[in-house]
Structure 1
Amino acid sequence: MRVEIWSDIACPWCYIGKARFEKGLAAFAHRDEVEVVHRSFELDPNAGEPTGLPVIQLLADKYGLSPDEAEAAEARVAQTARGEGLGYASGRLMNGSTFGLHRLLHHAKKRGPEAHTALLEAFYRANFADLLPLGDTETVVAVAASAGLEEAEVRGVLADEEAYADDVRADEREASALGATGVPFFVLDRRFGVSGGQPAEVFTQALEQAHAAGGGLVQVQASESAPVCEDGACAVPAHQY
């Protein structure tokens, strides 16, 4: 079975959803038969250079929240992340376009799934736990090097704006064709689509159903307990950011 996961580094629910999926996969009896493939998705394809503005301001502006309400929303997602054993610090900045990060992830994928996963996890930690500015080239180079990539290769990919650009765009077209409007978006053996950072047991159940079933894609939609990030930001339900 192949599980494809569309995600973006800027999406906290992708960070949380990855951890929850892995727990769900660990409880799946046929986990050794599962191939996991991470794919690219930009929440905001039109994002430009880093603005240096806090994410809290984005939440407040997008959803009409007061600063205190936006702070509380971010605190709730932080609590959820920590509940999954993930590092999550307050004070994230808007880092601008993630297109270059996705191109680097495709470069890492050429070295194998372990290299790709190591870089993805390094980017997530840098963004959410360490609050590193991933819109800064030197920071990105350092993070990629810490994940095992050669510094010269990383600089070469970042300098060539067309390097792996087609791969990123192909992933995004495929997500659109499958009906994804936000991330995280999980597709299990092209039989089941799971939208949002669902609880681990939902992923286990979906894996079991996909293993047993055939036919076309059936989607498990996001809910308040498993939001998606879309349209450049993340949903802010009443009780769970």
Structure 2
Amino acid sequence: MVELEVWSDVACPWCYIGATRLAAALDGFDRRDRVRVTWRAYELAPDAEAGAGRRAVDALVESKGMTTEQARHMFGQVSQVASGDGLHLDFDATIAANTFDAHRLVHLAGAGTARGGRVLRALYRAYFTDGVAVDDVDALVRIAEAEGLDAGQVRAGLADPDSAAAVTVREDELLAARFGITGVPFFIADRKYAVSGAQPVGVLTELLRRAFDGPEDH
């Protein structure tokens, strides 16, 4: 069994693209049933104000000192890449958010399970396509319910700042620091082989192959 750990952030479009490409790589990999994917938390903006309700383009202008035109151009380039992977990103609708609770929801769903992966994909769609504020507890509960989780349990888990899910998110981030991860998405197979960024499907397939077979001799 190969353990594949993926650090990502719900508010990272390249992570959405990377997760989509990983799904394609796994679909075409002949040992898919021997790969376990665990989604690990990484917050690109841990100090972002929760519930601010600002548009992502305005938040980017403020945080990076860009003009609105520069921010829109950057988002347009990302959207064009994403469309090649079958994704529709609507940055005009995207609401900047603190993603800590969204990461907690993935862990409540089971970050190393298929359901956790489905919840993460639902969070990406909510954030980048549907204009959902993913730091709104009610919105997170609706996403969880749609994926078969118990609304009461999810609401209770998100209400507790010291919940097991909260502790695990912090542990993920400490691991990222230990491994020297400074950008996402970041993929590590068996804690031996790693690639960074939204790599093409072929690169991710090769990462899986190396994890099973070791590096090729040259």
When normalised by structure 1's length, the TM-score is 0.81
Taking the aligned partners of 2:28 and 2:132, their CA distance within structure 1 comes to 33
Asked whether the equivalents of residues 95 and 133 of structure 2 are also in contact (C-alpha less than 8 Å), the reply is: yes
Change (3 A) 1:74 1:142: same
1:116-170 Cα distance to aligned partner (Å, 9 max, x none): 1121111111101111112222212111111211111111112111112111111
Q: Is it true that 1:18 corresponds to 2:19 in the alignment? A: yes
| Residue identity in the other structure for 1:202 | V
Structure 2 unaligned blocks of 5 or more: none
Structure 1 unaligned blocks of 5 or more: 215-241
Taking the aligned partners of 1:207 and 1:168, their CA distance within structure 2 comes to 25
Taking the aligned partners of 1:153 and 1:11, their CA distance within structure 2 comes to 27
SS at match of 1:180: coil
* Larger helix fraction of residues: 2
Residue of structure 1 equivalent to 2:73: 72
Taking the aligned partners of 1:23 and 1:129, their CA distance within structure 2 comes to 20
When normalised by structure 2's length, the TM-score is 0.89
Taking the aligned partners of 2:63 and 2:135, their CA distance within structure 1 comes to 21
Aligned ranges 1:55-66 → 2 under 5 Å: 55-66=56-67
Taking the aligned partners of 1:33 and 1:118, their CA distance within structure 2 comes to 19
Residue of structure 2 equivalent to 1:93: 95
| Residue identity in the other structure for 1:159 | A
Residue of structure 1 equivalent to 2:134: 134
Q: Is it true that 1:124 corresponds to 2:113 in the alignment? A: no
- Displacement of 1:175 in angstroms is 1.4
Residue of structure 1 equivalent to 2:6: 5
Change (3 A) 1:46 1:66: closer
SS at match of 1:90: coil
- Determine what percentage of the aligned residue pairs are the same residue: 39
1:39-92 Cα distance to aligned partner (Å, 9 max, x none): 111112222323222211233344443212211211111122221112321321
SS at match of 1:190: coil
